[in-house]
Every structure is written in C-alpha cells, then in structure tokens.
C-alpha cells in the first residue's frame, strides 16, 4: 500500500489538466484544510477530491472490488476510509466550502466535467482589450 500514489495519480492529473484548460486556477493539496483536498479553488470556496473507486468504495462501480484474502482487515480498512471521507466532507462544509468528488472511473471517461463546471461557475473573467502598442518614432 505504500506504493499507492497519493498525489499526482493519473485520474488526478486528468482532472487537473481539464480544469486548467477550462480556465480554472487552483491550489494543490492544501494541508491547512481538513483532508488535504486534491484541488482547492479558494476564490470559489470549493474543493475537489479525486477518489479512487477501490479505496473510497464508489457504489456500483466495477472497480469497487474486495480482495478475497484477509476479509476482516479489508472490511475494517474500507469502513475507516468511508468514515474519514464523511468526516472530512462534513468539516469542510461546516467551514463554508463546497465539496466536489470526482471518481476515478468518471475521470477516465470525462463525464464528470459536464457536471462539475456549472457548479464551479464561470472560469475566467473576459479579457480586457489591450491598449494598442504604438512605436515611438
């Protein structure tokens, strides 16, 4: 389990690239917030978690499997993960943050993007027209 990437995983990078390309700017893994969210959009008071389907138990997903060996260990591990996720989300909401979760399987197929962007609001302010540059003669 030590080799499981906590930062910079492939699903997280997909989400980061898509949000950045859409014009959103964010901070990564802020440790001063509960749960150290994967992406933090401070101006919008929004956080995005990119959850792995296996570890965070995405309901109805084919990646949400349970190993056959050491069933009691895995049941306790998954229950603790789910309880921690609920605790962290509740704490963030209590502090006024909007919490969004993108699942690993959603990140791979891009469906999450159409649902998340309207929740975050418009990406950038329209660019101001630049003053024309005149060359001194």
pLDDT digits (tens, 9 = 90+) for 23-78: 889 999 999 999 999 999 998 999 999 998 988 998 988 888 889 899 999 999 99
In a domain, 71, yes or no: yes
For residue 45, being part of any structural domain is answered with yes
55 found inside a domain: yes
Overall domain count for the chain: 1
Structural domain that includes position 63 = 11-118
Main-chain phi, psi angles of 99, to 5 degrees? -110, 130
Is 88 among the domain residues?
yes
Query: Where residue 60 sits, what CATH number does that domain have?
Result: 3.40.960.10
Q: Tell me, yes or no, whether 93 lies in a domain.
A: yes
Asked whether the predicted pLDDT for residue 95 surpasses 80, the reply is yes
Q: Is residue 3 part of a domain?
A: no
Rounded mean pLDDT, 92-99? 96
Asked if residue 127 belongs to a domain, the reply is no
pLDDT at position 3: 45
């Amino acid at each position: 389990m030590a080799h499981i990437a906590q930062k910079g995983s492939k699903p997280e990078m997909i989400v980061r690239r898509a949000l950045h390309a859409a014009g959103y700017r964010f901070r990564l893994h802020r440790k001063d917030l509960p749960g150290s969210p994967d992406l933090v959009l401070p101006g919008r008071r929004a956080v995005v978690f990119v959850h792995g389907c296996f570890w965070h138990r995405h309901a109805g997903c084919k990646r949400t499997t349970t190993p056959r060996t050491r069933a009691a260990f895995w049941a306790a591990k998954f229950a603790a993960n789910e309880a921690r996720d609920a605790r962290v989300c509740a704490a963030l909401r209590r502090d006024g943050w909007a919490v969004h979760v993108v699942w690993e399987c959603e990140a791979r197929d891009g469906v999450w993007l159409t649902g998340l962007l309207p929740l975050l609001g418009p990406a950038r302010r329209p660019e101001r027209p630049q003053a024309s540059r005149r060359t001194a003669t």
